[in-house]
Amino acid sequence: MVTLDMKKQVVIVGGGFAGLNAARILGNKEDIEITLIDRKNYHLFQPLLYQVAMAALGEGDIAAPLRNMLSNYRNITVFKGIVENVDIEKKIVMSDFGDIPYDYLILACGVQHHYFGNNQWEEFAPGLKTLAQAKEIRRRVMEAYERAERTKDRVERKKLLTFVIVGGGPTGVELAGSIGEMSRYTLSKFYRNIDPKLTRIFIVEAAPRILGSFAPELASKATRSLEKLGVQVWTSSMVSNVDANGVQIGKERIEAATVLWAAGVTAIEIGKTIGLETDRIGRIIVGEDLSITGHPEIFAGGDLAHFMQENGTTLPGLAPVALQQGRTIGKNILLDLKGKTRKLFRYRDKGQMATIGKNKAIVEFGSLKFDGILAWFTWLLVHIYFLTSFRHRVFVLMQWGWSYFTFSYGARLIVNKEWRFYPDPDTCESHRKKEDQE
Amino acid sequence: MVTLDMKKQVVIVGGGFAGLNAARILGNKEDIEITLIDRKNYHLFQPLLYQVAMAALGEGDIAAPLRNMLSNYRNITVFKGIVENVDIEKKIVMSDFGDIPYDYLILACGVQHHYFGNNQWEEFAPGLKTLAQAKEIRRRVMEAYERAERTKDRVERKKLLTFVIVGGGPTGVELAGSIGEMSRYTLSKFYRNIDPKLTRIFIVEAAPRILGSFAPELASKATRSLEKLGVQVWTSSMVSNVDANGVQIGKERIEAATVLWAAGVTAIEIGKTIGLETDRIGRIIVGEDLSITGHPEIFAGGDLAHFMQENGTTLPGLAPVALQQGRTIGKNILLDLKGKTRKLFRYRDKGQMATIGKNKAIVEFGSLKFDGILAWFTWLLVHIYFLTSFRHRVFVLMQWGWSYFTFSYGARLIVNKEWRFYPDPDTCESHRKKEDQE
C-alpha cells in the first residue's frame, strides 16, 4: 500500500466523526494517498448508541462498515488494526500489522470511560461507548427482569428490579428515561410473577444538578419529566463504591443488580504513549489549526483533542465538534499542499439536545430553549438527518414509527454474554492487541 | 407460580417451533397452567439463520422474545432457565431455579451439532444453530477479509480467502451460495489490496451428491448454480481432520482460514439423562400420539423426537414437522382433559426448498419440482409467510428488497468475538449451567 512515488501519505487513526470527515475531504484528491486505521471495521453513530442498549434499535441501524462508506474514494485504504505507537521523528506509525510511514498524521481515536481511579468498578458498572458495551447493557437489563421473574425471594427481586445510572449527563438521562418508559409502559404485560412498574431507577449525580451543560431551567424540566417516568434523581451524590450488589454514596446505599456508568471519560492513551502534550484527562493539546506545537504535520481531532476557544473554554466531546474538526484538518492539509495558509478552527455551535422519552426532550440552541413535543420532534429530525446513509435513515425511521404507535420496543433479545470486558472505544492502545487475536 | 388448585400443570421445555405451537394450542384454555422454559429468552426462526450469519439480516429480524409472543395467554408463564433432569416417577422437572411439578411434560429442546466423535473440531469449524453461532460465523468471515487486506504474504492471503463448508445439506448450500454471491458481487469494490472475486469456496460432502433429501435432478441444478457463483462442490469427500489451518480429506488437503460446519446433528442429551428410549443420535422415540411408551403424560416433539412414519421412514428435522407436532401434542392434551381419544400424528408434507443466491433456488413439493427465479420467489414468499410476526415480515421484506435492488448486503459489522464457544442450541443440559451465570 505504500508506494515510492511522490504522493503525500496521510495516515488517519480512528474512523469516528473526526477521522471519517477528514477522510472525506481528502478523498479522491490528487497527489494524496490515505490510510485509515480503526480497531473496529465500522463507523458508529454514537448519539443513538443508548437506543441499541435499550433494544429500540439494532446494531446495524447505527453503524456501517468504514470500507463501504469510503469505497468511492479510490485513494483511501481502510485497515482494521491497532496503532501501538508513533515515531514522530521518523514519521512512522507502528501498528499491529507493520510500520506505516506518513507525511501527515491525524489522530482521532476518541475517549473511553473513566472510573476516577477505581477501574475495578467497571465489571459492575459498564459504560456506553461501543456496540459491544451497548449489547452488554441490554443483556444485563433484560437478564435482571428474567431473574426477577424466576426468584421467590422478595428482597432479591427488589434488588433485581433496581437500576442505578451513575452520571446525569445526556447519556445518563437518556438511559434512565428509556428504562423508565420501558418498565412503565412496555414490559408490564409480559411477566406473571413481577410487576415491572415497580422498577426503581436512580440517577446518581455528583454535581448539584443534572445536565450541567444545559441551562438550569431545561435541566429542571428534564428532571420533572424523568420523575414522571419513575426515575429518582439524586444530585450532590458522589459514588464512593460500586460492587456486585449496588452502590455506596457516602453513608447512603442502594442495593441494585444493575449499575450503569455514564460519568467521566478519559482520552485514549495514545497522546501520552507518543509523548505529546496532553491535558489532565489525556487529551492532546492542539493549536488553532488543530495541529500540534512543533509538529505541523500531526493533527488531532474529535474527543481526543483539547481545543481551547478564544473565550477560554475547552470544546466539549460532541459529534458536531468532531465532525467540524475533521473537515478543517482535511482542508488544512489541502491548503498546505497548495502552499496556502492554514485555516484556523472556529466551532460553529450546533446547540445541544437530550431526549427523555416519548414526546419528551430538551433543546438548547444559543439563547433559544424549548422542551416537550416540539423539542422531541426536533431531536428526532436532527438525528435522522445526521444519520450516516439513506438506508440507515429509512430503517431507523421505520423502527421509531413502529415503536411510537405500538409503544413496543424492538427485539429484546439476550444473546449470550458478549461483552467480555472490552473497555476501549477505539483504535490506539497496544494493550488491546492480545484481545484482538482470534 | 405453582398453585394448589386443581388445574393441570403443563411444563414445556424449549420454545422452538414445537414448544411454541404446543403452547399456543393450550394457551387461554381453562383448567390448564403452562410453564414454558427455554435457555434463551427468544424464539428463533431457524430457516433464516444463515442470513444473519451472512449479514443479510439482523438478529432482531428473525427472533422475538418468547414472553412477548405468548403474552396474550394469561395461563402461560415463561422462564429463562435450564432444565437439568426430570424425575418421571414423581413427575418433577428439575431446573436451575428449582423443582417444577407437572401433570404433562413436553420435551422439545432440539438438536446440536455433531462432530462424529471429534468435538475438538468445533473450535475450528463452528456450526449454525444459534444466534451467537451465526454472529461468530459472520465475524470469522468478515475478519478473514480484513486480515487478507492487511497481509503481504500471498500464501497467507490465499488461505484467508478460502472458505470450506463441511456438509452439503440445505444449510451448507445456503452458506456457500451466500459467500459466493457476496464475494463475486458485493465485496469487490471495498478492498484495495485483495480481489474478493478470487475467494475460493468449497462444499465438502461425504455422500455421492449434495442435497441428499432432494431429487437428484434438483441437486444437480443446485450444484451448477453454486459453480456459477464460484463454489466448488466436492462429493464423496469425507473430512478426516479439521485444524486451525484447514481441512484434511483423506490424502487431499485444503488450506483455509475459515471452516464452517453444516454436517451432522445430534439430539440434546436430555432423553438419555432422563433415561428414556432414544435412537442412535439421541432422539427420544415417540409413539403415534407423540407420547412416550409407558408414560402417556410425557411428549416429545420437533428435532428432539424420533417419529417413525407408516412407510418406515423417520421424519426429518424440519420446521413444518416441529410445528405440526407441537400442535398435535397440544391437541392431545386437550383431548385427554375432555376424556376423548388422542389423535394420531400424521405429517402433512409441506415439501422442501433451498436457496442458492439471487433468483436461484430449488423447490420440491411431492412430484412437483422446479428451480430458478420462480423457485426463488416461492422460497421468499413461504419464508415471509411463516415469519413470526407482522413486524418481522415488514422489516425482513424491506431489507431483502433493499439488498435485491442495490445488490448490497446489510451491515457487515464485526462486533467482538461474541461466541465464546457455546455449542448448545437449547435448554436442557446441566453442564451449561456454569456458563449461564453472570
Give how far A98 is from chain B: nearest CA, Å: 9
- Which amino acid does the sequence have at A277? E
Q: Rounded to 5, what percent of chain B is helix, strand, coil?
A: 35, 25, 40
Give how far A64 is from chain B: nearest CA, Å: 6
Q: Which residue has the cell 454474554?
A: A417
pLDDT in tens, B293-306: 999 999 999 999 99
Say how far apart CA A110 and CA A167 lie, in whole Å.
19
Q: Which of B74, B80, B143, B187 to mutate to test the interface with A (most CBs of A within 10 A)?
A: B80
3-state SS assignment for residue A93? strand
Give how far B128 is from chain A: nearest CA, Å: 14
Of B142, B191, B180, B199, give the one whose Cα is nearest residue A60: B142
Does pLDDT of A368 surpass 50? yes
Helix (H) or strand (E) holding A65: strand A63-65
B352 at interface of A, judged by CB pairs closer than 8 A:
no
| Cβ proximity of A226 and A177 under 8 Å | yes
Residues 220 through 249 of chain B touching chain A, CB cutoff 8 Å: none
Query: Of B53-62, B253-262, B408-417, which has the strongest mean pLDDT?
Result: B253-262
Say how far apart CA A376 and CA B37 lie, in whole Å.
40
pLDDT in tens, B300-348: 999 999 999 999 999 999 999 999 999 999 999 999 999 999 999 999 9
pLDDT at position B4 is 53
Percent of chain A with pLDDT over 90: 71
pLDDT at position A230 is 95
3-state SS assignment for residue B268? coil
Q: Which of A95, A138, A149, A404 to mutate to test the interface with B (most CBs of B within 10 A)?
A: A149
Helix (H) or strand (E) holding B202: strand B200-204
Of B294, B295, B263, give the one whose Cα is nearest residue B281: B263
List the beta bridge partners of residue A252.
A249
Catalytic residues of A: 174
Does pLDDT of A423 surpass 80? no
| Cβ proximity of A1 and B193 under 8 Å | yes
Task: Report the Cα–Cα distance between both ends of chain B, in Å, rounded.
Answer: 24
A291-300, B114-123, B163-172: least confidently modelled range: B114-123
Nearest Cα residue in chain B from A140 = B438
Say how far apart CA A55 and CA B52 lie, in whole Å.
17
| Cβ proximity of B283 and B304 under 8 Å | yes
Does pLDDT of A324 surpass 70? yes
Does pLDDT of B106 surpass 70? yes
User: Measured between beta carbons, which residues in chain B are less than 8 angstroms from residue A41?
Assistant: 142, 146, 412-414
Selecting from B41, B140, B192 the residue whose C-beta is nearest the C-beta of A414 gives B41
Report chain A's mean pLDDT, rounded to a whole number.
Answer: 89
pLDDT at position A426 is 35
User: Measured between beta carbons, which residues in chain A are less than 8 angstroms from residue B60?
Assistant: 55, 58, 410-411, 413
pLDDT at position B5 is 61
Say how far apart CA B7 and CA B74 lie, in whole Å.
14
Does pLDDT of A1 surpass 70? no
**Binary contact (A416, B419; C-beta < 8 A):** yes
Angle value at C-alpha A161, between A156 and A163, nearest 5 degrees = 120
A259-268, A403-412, B7-16, B156-165: least confidently modelled range: A403-412
Reported as a pLDDT band with limits 50, 70 and 90, residue B427 is very low
Selecting from B61, B189, B416 the residue whose C-beta is nearest the C-beta of A422 gives B416
- Nine-digit cell string for B51: 442470513
Can you say whether residue B211 is alpha, beta or left, with left for phi > 0 and alpha for psi between -120 and 50 degrees? left
Of the candidates B33, B123, B146, B174, the residue annotated as catalytic is: B174
Selecting from B42, B151, B417 the residue whose C-beta is nearest the C-beta of A413 gives B42
A42 at interface of B, judged by CB pairs closer than 8 A:
yes
pLDDT at position A399 is 78
**Binary contact (A417, B402; C-beta < 8 A):** no
- Which amino acid does the sequence have at B153? D
The strand ranges marked E within A71-166 are 76-80, 83-87, 92-95, 98-101, 104-107, 111-113, 162-166
Q: Which residue has the cell 427455554?
A: B38
- Which amino acid does the sequence have at A73? Y
A360-369, A378-387, B387-396: least confidently modelled range: B387-396
**Binary contact (A418, B418; C-beta < 8 A):** yes
φ and ψ at residue A399, rounded to 5 degrees:
-65, -40
- Nine-digit cell string for A416: 449470550
| Cβ proximity of B292 and B9 under 8 Å | no
User: Measured between beta carbons, which residues in chain A are less than 8 angstroms from residue B132?
Assistant: 415-416, 418
**Binary contact (B191, A67; C-beta < 8 A):** yes
**Binary contact (B411, A63; C-beta < 8 A):** yes
Reported as a pLDDT band with limits 50, 70 and 90, residue A421 is very low
Nearest Cα residue in chain B from A398 = B395
List the beta bridge partners of residue B300.
B107
| Cβ proximity of A121 and A115 under 8 Å | yes
Give how far B325 is from chain A: nearest CA, Å: 26
Give how far B340 is from chain A: nearest CA, Å: 31
Largest CA distance in chain A: 74
Does pLDDT of B426 surpass 50? no
| Cβ proximity of A70 and A76 under 8 Å | yes
Say how far apart CA B299 and CA B326 lie, in whole Å.
10
Say how far apart CA B202 and CA B254 lie, in whole Å.
9
Of B110, B131, B118, give the one whose Cα is nearest residue B50: B131
Other CB atoms within a 10 A radius of the CB of residue A195 amount to: 12
**Binary contact (A71, B189; C-beta < 8 A):** yes
pLDDT at position B417 is 43
Give how far B393 is from chain A: nearest CA, Å: 13
Say how far apart CA B146 and CA B144 lie, in whole Å.
5
Other CB atoms within a 10 A radius of the CB of residue A25 amount to: 16
List the beta bridge partners of residue A92.
A87, A101
pLDDT at position A416 is 55
Is pLDDT larger for residue B437 or for residue A339?
A339
Mean pLDDT along residues B23-33: 96
pLDDT in tens, A3-13: 456 899 999 99
Reported as a pLDDT band with limits 50, 70 and 90, residue B419 is very low
**Binary contact (B413, A65; C-beta < 8 A):** yes
pLDDT at position B340 is 97
Say how far apart CA B204 and CA B168 lie, in whole Å.
7
A2 at interface of B, judged by CB pairs closer than 8 A:
no
The crossing angle, in degrees rounded to 10, of helices A372-386 and A390-406 is 150
B122 at interface of A, judged by CB pairs closer than 8 A:
no
Does pLDDT of A411 surpass 80? no
A150 at interface of B, judged by CB pairs closer than 8 A:
yes
Mean pLDDT along residues B175-193: 92
pLDDT in tens, A75-85: 999 999 999 99
Say what the pTM is: 0.87
Does pLDDT of B22 surpass 80? yes
pLDDT at position B391 is 73
Say how far apart CA B96 and CA A338 lie, in whole Å.
70
Residues 250 through 309 of chain B touching chain A, CB cutoff 8 Å: none
Reported as a pLDDT band with limits 50, 70 and 90, residue A409 is low
Residues 179 through 218 of chain A touching chain B, CB cutoff 8 Å: 189-193
Residues 64 through 83 of chain A touching chain B, CB cutoff 8 Å: 64-65, 67-68, 71, 77-81
pLDDT in tens, A108-129: 999 888 898 898 999 899 999 8
Percent of chain B with pLDDT over 70: 91
The crossing angle, in degrees rounded to 10, of helices B216-228 and B170-181 is 20
Cβ-Cβ contacts under 8 Å for A186 (sequence gap 6 or more): A407, A408, A409
pLDDT at position B277 is 95
pLDDT in tens, A114-167: 898 898 999 899 999 888 889 889 989 999 999 999 999 999 999 999 999 999
Say how far apart CA A158 and CA A194 lie, in whole Å.
10
pLDDT in tens, A41-76: 999 999 999 999 998 888 888 988 999 899 999 999
CA distances from B107 to B15, B104, B299, B342, B421 (A): 10, 10, 6, 18, 25
